[in-house]
Amino acid sequence: MSAILLAFALAALAWVFVVADLLRRHRPVWHWYVTGYPLAACRVLFTWRRVAMLNDLAVSRRPARGLLGDLVVKGDPLRPVAPRASFPRATRLGLTVAVRLHAGQTPAAYMKAADALVHAWKVHAVRVTSPERGLVLLTATASDPLERPGLATAPATLLSALIGVLENGRAWVMDLRTVPHWLVAGATRSGKSTLLARLITQLAPQNVALVGIDCKGGMELGLFAERLSALTTCRREAVAVLGALAIDMQERMRVCRLAGVRSIWELPEKLRPVPVVVIVDEIAELYLSDGRRESKAEAEQCSTLLLRLAQLGAALGMHLVVAGQRVGSDLGPGVTALRAQLGGRICHRVNDPGTAEMTLGDLNKDAVVVAQSITPEEQGVAVCTGSEGSWSRARSHLTTTEEAAATARKHAAMTPALPALDRALAAVEGGTE
């Protein structure tokens, strides 16, 4: 009888391990709540006092009055008291602990102890923030969120795109209503093209006009031509399309002025023009010239028109996403002026420090160092800017070319018609411009 019970127990244990493995691979969030969180919470509770003492987070109580009078003997703490910590609260990818600071403490001491907490709690990372005075919030992530960026979720809103996941486990969202223009830098096979494909996939189901500028013969953005309202494959076509957009921008200004509003979003829906997102793949192709007068003139025109769109387009529903392998002052002064207007920054692995500096240097020097540490094996990993001047490591969701092209075909019927751009391209093809 005991042998039968033992066999049943072993079978049940094996089944538990099988189910746990299936949860870990297919439902990692459930696996964390069921098995990971209880163990991690116990480690936090049992190690907190010792970690606090070893990392100078505990504070000694003063000896009882009358024992030594006002004489203080400097030496080992007599009665160290660890800061008061809340019970670990579970999140989708880890846990949080709120800690009440002792008088005179600052969050900097906890930032220094973050690595010690990582090892004591056996988690991937611990982030320290201070949501209010006298309180720090320790946010632990159980595993690297960048390994599975497809787990992030976010509500769908107009002109917002769920790109992937941030290092803290939150969704990485490009919201063009909040940050209207973006600069994306990255070397070959760094994940830049995948990010653009993801962006187009997310914007395709929305009532948005997408305009592609791909002066590499349309090899990248040509795959999504069915969902693009216009696609240029050379600089001459780009000049024509950007010029038509600049004229359309003037018309939108006129409509807003007559209606007495300051942006198209304040217009009645029936009068509101469709938002336009201009995606530029490889900015260097627009700015470099071969020395000929015609080539220099085209480059100057592109520089001027892009800068005008960046300066005036946000309130008029015109947005820029500019990407390039190399972004530097050697492309001309126009690039530096354009960069100043592109508030959103994304830097993948780059081949030269200058591009990382150009992309992130004017925002945060630490972000430049982190961007330069991205390895070739970390495809899709980037340093991106966030709200209030913050930055974070992030990873875009892997979107294959086939998936992106299929999405573009699926939503081809939603492609808004922009007759002015069609006429501009037809004039270039006909040789009349």
Helices (DSSP H) in 313-400: which residue ranges?
Answer: 333-341, 353-360, 365-372
Task: Give the model's pLDDT for residue 387.
Answer: 65
313 contacts 319 by C-beta, under 8 angstroms: yes
Please indicate, yes or no, whether residues 92 and 172 belong to a single structural domain of this protein: no
Of 77, 111, 143, the domain-final residue: 143
| 103 shares a domain with 204 | no
Q: Does the pLDDT at position 160 exceed 90? A: yes
Same domain, 124 and 266: no
User: 122 and 204: one domain?
Assistant: no
Bridge partners for 144 per DSSP: none
Let me know whether 172 and 243 are in one domain.
yes
392 and 372 housed in the same domain: yes
What's 278's domain CATH number? 3.40.50.300
pLDDT of residue 390: 78
| 154/303 same-domain check | yes
**Integer angstrom CA distances of residue 186 from 112, 195, 302, 340:** 32, 10, 21, 18
Q: Domains in the chain: how many in total? A: 2
Q: Which of 102, 121, 143 is the last residue of a domain?
A: 143
Residue that wins the pLDDT comparison between 326 and 332: 326
DSSP string, 143-172: S-GGG-GGG------TTEEEEEEETTS-EE
Highest mean pLDDT among 63-72, 93-102, 290-299, 355-364: 93-102
pLDDT of residue 15: 47
pLDDT in tens, 45-81: 999 999 998 998 888 765 555 444 555 555 554 577 8
Q: Are residues 168 and 96 in the same domain?
A: no
**Pair 231, 130 in one domain:** no
**134, 176: one domain:** no
Do residues 95 and 118 make contact, with C-beta atoms less than 8 angstroms apart? no
| Confidence band of 199 (pLDDT split at 50, 70, 90) | very high
More confident residue, 59 or 95: 95
Model pLDDT for residues 213-264, shown as the tens digit of each residue: 998 888 889 999 999 999 999 999 999 999 999 999 999 999 999 999 999 9
For 243, residues 6+ apart whose C-beta sits below 8 A from its C-beta are: 301, 305, 424
**Is there a single domain that holds both residue 160 and residue 87?**
no
Range(s) of the domain holding residue 55 = 2-143
In a shared domain, residues 116 and 182: no
Residue ending a domain, among 118, 143, 168, is 143
